[in-house]
Structure 1
Amino acid sequence: MRGPDRVGGLAVLKDMLKNDLNRPEAQLAIARQQLAVDDKDGAAQSLKQALQIRPDYLPAALMLSQMGPAERAAGIASFEKYVQQNPKSRDARLALSQLYLADDRLDDAQKQFETMRKLDSKDPTPLMALALIKIQQKKLDEATAYLKQYVQLGDKQPNLDVGQGYIYLAQIAIDQNNDAQASQWLDKVDQTSQHYLPAQITRAQLLQKQGKTDEARKVLDNLPITDPRDAAVVARTDASILFTAKRYPEAEARLGQAVQDFPDDPDLRYDYAMAAEKTGHYTTMEKQLRELIRTQPDNPQAYNALGYSLADRNQRLPEASKLIDKAMTLAPNDAYIMDSLGWVKYRMGDTAGAAKVLRRAYELQPNAEIGAHLGEVLWKSGAQDDARSAWRDAQKLEPDNETLVQTLKRLQINGL
């Protein structure tokens, strides 16, 4: 009933608006109904028609921009035209900036945010946006400067909650190995801030980084939790702290309880599976990943995790290969899934194919575990100098990586 009714509704709407089709509002209404019946091409055409009638009609431009990369270009063009004609329109300039970000045009977005900043020095939005762009560009000193300006607005605007700014400042300080400064930034997030919980989670992670596992967990234990969603986040963070400390049985127990409490949380279920693998509870691991695949059939990480675990244990290799192939189909440019693909090829005897895939994975994401796998494949294929080179590079990235250390020990490689 629902499908035919909606299609019929489109026909009725078109008939009602037949004398108003030269109005952009009419084309927008038709486009909305076309999307409701999954006629994306028709909706795009109606929206383009609306913009032909009125190039600066922002509702049509915004809807068109959200339909895909090709349509986004037309939407951006309309917004650009409108902003040129209305340079003081904050909302239009902000929307244009967001479209640039969606199109990965960081420099263009930055110019718009800088203009917004000049137009209104009291507006916090462009400062935060510019800081995030600089973080993405790994220009952390510039990001810090913008964030400091952002939090300073909190002194002048009492209703402005700048807690998020302090958290980003703390995270930058952590990345720069300035733990004391990070702690000082976090101290500035008041309990009344809506960002107090993420600030305390960041504090717990900072303490874990310093090896203070129990102290980190106490921070989480002392949090006043009322929202079940927050409880799930805290449980996952607590388990992550235990996992990082290699207290795998405790992490598994914590996550097992959390999955019972929050059975619809896919992140908790995935983490539970990973903890179960670490303790050798492979039946539990597989059960959790199978459930994740059932409820999220387009989740590449679930297929990859199960496929890799089977390949790593040299079990059910044809099935492992199919699972990893499925993951690759869903996420073809994921370096970690490529690593799994290379590893299962190696387990199945295709060392040449494995080396090719692993080299590609390492190029995409230089990572100690991928480097360990690449080194082993090269070693077994007789390219021992290349293998040592791969392992040396991996050691530079993460000398204590568990996979790397175990690989060198198992192959009795004493010096690189």
Structure 2
Amino acid sequence: MTGPHVRTCGPRPPRQRPAKPALHLLTAALMALSGGHALAQADTSAAPAAAAAKTPPPPPSALDAPLFYQLLIGELELKEGRPGNAYQVILDAARRQSDDDLFQRAVEIALQARAGDQALAATQAWREARPQSLAAMRYQVQILLALNRGEALAEPLTAWLAAAPVMERPGLIASLPRVLARLPDQQKALALASRLFTPWLDQPATRTAARVALGRAHLSAGLPVQAVGLARAAVADDPAATGPALLALEMVPATAGAEALVTDYLARDDAEPAVRLAYVRTLAQGQRYAEATRQLERLTLQRPALPDPWLTLGALRLELKQPKEAETALLRFVELAGATPPAAVAAANAAGAATGSTASDTEDDDEAPPPAADGARDLTQAWLLLAQAAEQRGDLKTAETWLAKVENPQRLLEVQARRAGLMARQGQLKEARALIQAVPERTGDDARAKLVAEAQLLRDIKRWQDAATVLATASQRFPDDTDLIYEQAMVEEKLDRLPEMERLLRRVIALKPDHPHAHNALGYSLADRGLRLPEARALIVRALELSPGDPFITDSLGWVEFRLGNKDEALRLLRQAYAARPDTEIAAHLGEVLWAQGQRDEARRVWQEARGRDASNEVLRETLARLKVGL
């Protein structure tokens, strides 16, 4: 057969930003929130035999002898490697019989032969014979997309919408923006979307879905303000609909007004958990951990038998340096996931995990935990997080007990790196490094991961020169890896080798101009030393443009404003950053600005909270010593 090469596939997944090594466990926990729910299946095995006896006989088959032989010849031609002949024979039979299944078979033969024009011709013949066939329209749309013939989509899509059953039409409208997103020219896609969805804006059953679909098309075309306006109009139509909130969520935090639509929806008693979980992922990706935690706390109160929110809540609380609260959440996840921790481990954690009321105290009596689909689920993530929580509490023995439970060979490096950290804290640095180095390497990625793990181990115990040596070796093996170069620059900053740090960060920016952390790190380092403050501010502003709402970048901007003498603006920004992420370093900066503004009682309160979370933080200790403040 002849014709263009056709490959049918689903929509590509969105490209993900690489997770920072320190956030790896949190990232994995967030991924758990993406899981779907199993669908119950009806059991029909007990149908009485008498019912079968009453079943009416099947209608007479249209398969007569000529049709049988025609289909047989078509399939034999295909088996013998002559798909062109098979296609013609089956398509002729489909036309003669006006049969959906035969038309579909002709289309499939053409697709298997990668003959796009013939597949398209078969769908056109199918629609001529069966004008109301939804399957014919769907295949035609898919093939036009695969052939990159977006200009021909309007007619079949319009017909598909008109022919769809009334109850199914809103769902079809909601799905079409994903189809249009595959077109190369999103301005033309927006024009097509307006043509398709505008007729359905005034119909009560479809107006909400149509507004949301138009909003998605505007967003894909780079018009977020118009997309927010359409989402707001959809909310006015149906305040309980999830579509407008999910559309608005895609624009958080970059577009004004989008987040308010999300939070207004989540304030409803009937808000869907899936929307709240999606908002949690967005907040966590922006490192707004305190807000994400509050959302998960509300969800776990409302739906205490859902396992995955407990896992993510535990990971977030670890990031907030709340190990006892993290253990409470993680042990609840383990319980719901269908596994009971060993008695010795449970007893060892009892003192740390039992703070306030337990998760079980809030559980509805009427809501039983759902059984795991295939027995106890993979608990590797929970074991690693529980080990991290025990380590934060200083209970190294219990941390090792949790690590010993991990049996997943694919997580060997994570386990050994965590175990090496425990050894290093006990003065066994040589053995700790050897433990990481002994992990087998199968690929270049394995070798890179080992070097990163070893460098992180050395950074954790402040062996900056050794860490710099390991990262320099890693950068030589992987010369254009921007993440490695960035990490190397951060170690150079700790060694107070500012020119080398700046050289490395500018190389990262040259290789990856949209790297927000490189812009922020360079700007903050200059601002913290009082150097080239206007340039420092420009770098940080650019970082915040690349990563809107990031609390650490907001902290940097507040700090450079303080250095520039803009104390009121500095205070506003630092309050915003601290509310989103109550980090110890942000607290140190906020307290200093409050102190300079004469608000010393509040400054002491902020510093005391921060010291309670992380008394060893260098920035906090240096700030208190320089200002001669005793707490």
Is TM (by shorter chain) over 0.5?
Answer: yes
Aligned residue among 380, 383, 393 for 1:163: 380
Aligned residue among 275, 278, 293 for 1:102: 278
Measure, in 2, the Cα distance between the counterparts of 1:241 and 1:177.
17
Whichever residue aligns with residue 10 of structure 1, its letter is G
Shift in alpha-carbon separation, 1:33–1:150, aligned structure 2, 3 A: closer
Aligned partners of 2:413 and 2:436 also within 8 Å: no
What is the aligned partner in structure 2 of residue 329 from structure 1?
A: 545
Q: Give the 3-state SS of the residue equivalent to 1:403 in structure 2.
A: helix
Question: How far does the alpha carbon of each residue in 1:297-337 deviate from its partner, in whole angstroms, 9 at most, with x for none?
Answer: 33322211110111112111110011112223334433322
Q: Note the 1:7-18 alignment, pairs <5 A.
A: 9-15=149-155
- Identify the range of structure 1 (25-34 vs 253-262) with the bigger mean alpha-carbon deviation: 25-34
Aligned partners of 2:334 and 2:379 also within 8 Å: no
- What is the aligned residue count? 372
Aligned partners of 1:10 and 1:33 also within 8 Å: no
- Is the aligned partner of 1:36 residue 2:182? yes
Whichever residue aligns with residue 141 of structure 1, its letter is T
Offset at 1:177?
A: 4.3
Shift in alpha-carbon separation, 1:73–1:359, aligned structure 2, 3 A: closer
Aligned residue among 280, 293, 297 for 2:509: 293
Structure number, greater radius of gyration: 2
Offset at 1:264?
A: 4.4
Q: Give the 3-state SS of the residue equivalent to 1:36 in structure 2.
A: coil
- Is the aligned partner of 1:227 residue 2:443? yes
Aligned partners of 1:14 and 1:30 also within 8 Å: no
Aligned partners of 1:97 and 1:109 also within 8 Å: no
Measure, in 2, the Cα distance between the counterparts of 1:108 and 1:382.
40
Q: Note the 1:329-408 alignment, pairs <5 A.
A: 329-380=545-596, 390-408=606-624
Measure, in 2, the Cα distance between the counterparts of 1:46 and 1:247.
62
Shift in alpha-carbon separation, 1:256–1:133, aligned structure 2, 3 A: closer
Structure 2: gaps of 5 or more residues: 1-144, 221-226, 235-240, 247-271, 281-294, 318-324, 341-371
What is the aligned partner in structure 2 of residue 182 from structure 1?
A: 399
TM-score for both structures, normalised by structure 2: 0.49
What is the aligned partner in structure 2 of residue 141 from structure 1?
A: 328
Aligned partners of 1:306 and 1:323 also within 8 Å: yes
TM-score for both structures, normalised by structure 1: 0.71
What is the aligned partner in structure 2 of residue 132 from structure 1?
A: 311
- Identify the range of structure 1 (231-240 vs 359-368) with the bigger mean alpha-carbon deviation: 359-368
Shift in alpha-carbon separation, 1:27–1:240, aligned structure 2, 3 A: same
Whichever residue aligns with residue 432 of structure 2, its letter is A
Measure, in 2, the Cα distance between the counterparts of 1:17 and 1:401.
60
- Is the aligned partner of 1:237 residue 2:453? yes
Shift in alpha-carbon separation, 1:293–1:99, aligned structure 2, 3 A: same
- CA RMSD between the two structures: 4.5
What is the aligned partner in structure 2 of residue 74 from structure 1?
A: 243
Q: Give the 3-state SS of the residue equivalent to 1:195 in structure 2.
A: helix
Question: How far does the alpha carbon of each residue in 1:344-397 deviate from its partner, in whole angstroms, 9 at most, with x for none?
Answer: 122222334333433443343333323333344455556666655554444333
More relative contact order in 1 or in 2 (CA 8 Å, sep 6+)?
Answer: 2
Shift in alpha-carbon separation, 1:29–1:414, aligned structure 2, 3 A: closer
Q: Give the 3-state SS of the residue equivalent to 1:194 in structure 2.
A: helix
Aligned partners of 2:387 and 2:400 also within 8 Å: yes
Aligned partners of 1:311 and 1:343 also within 8 Å: yes
Offset at 1:282?
A: 1.8
Offset at 1:273?
A: 1.0
Measure, in 2, the Cα distance between the counterparts of 1:29 and 1:414.
59
Offset at 1:275?
A: 0.4
Shift in alpha-carbon separation, 1:346–1:164, aligned structure 2, 3 A: closer
Identity of aligned pairs, percent? 34
More helix by share: 1
Shift in alpha-carbon separation, 1:173–1:391, aligned structure 2, 3 A: closer
Structure 1: gaps of 5 or more residues: 78-95, 115-125
